[in-house]
Amino acid sequence: MNAVIPDPAYIDTYSKPENMPSAELLAQQEENNQIRALKNIFTSFVTIAIAGPLYLYHWRQTKKPA
């Protein structure tokens, strides 16, 4: 996933001298947050898709009579 959508750069919205973030910085930060959220959702689904079948396979292996 990082090869397709790399992590966005950190934006410090309060680094301006007047301590007021501009609308452009806030919009960029919101977009970065959305990208991170989508990547986290994708990672969670991939983890479930891989771990779920492995768990079920091993659970069934333990239930088989010896």
As a dihedral over the C-alpha atoms of residue 59, residue 53, residue 3, residue 26, rounded to 10 degrees, the angle is -90
Residues 21-57 pLDDT 10s = 678 777 888 888 898 899 999 999 999 999 999 999 9
For residue 13, what pLDDT is reported? 63
Between 40 and 6, the more confident residue is 40
C-alpha 13/C-alpha 36 separation (Å) is 17
- Does residue 17 carry a pLDDT above 60? no
Residue at token pair 């301590």 = 19
For residue 37, what pLDDT is reported? 92
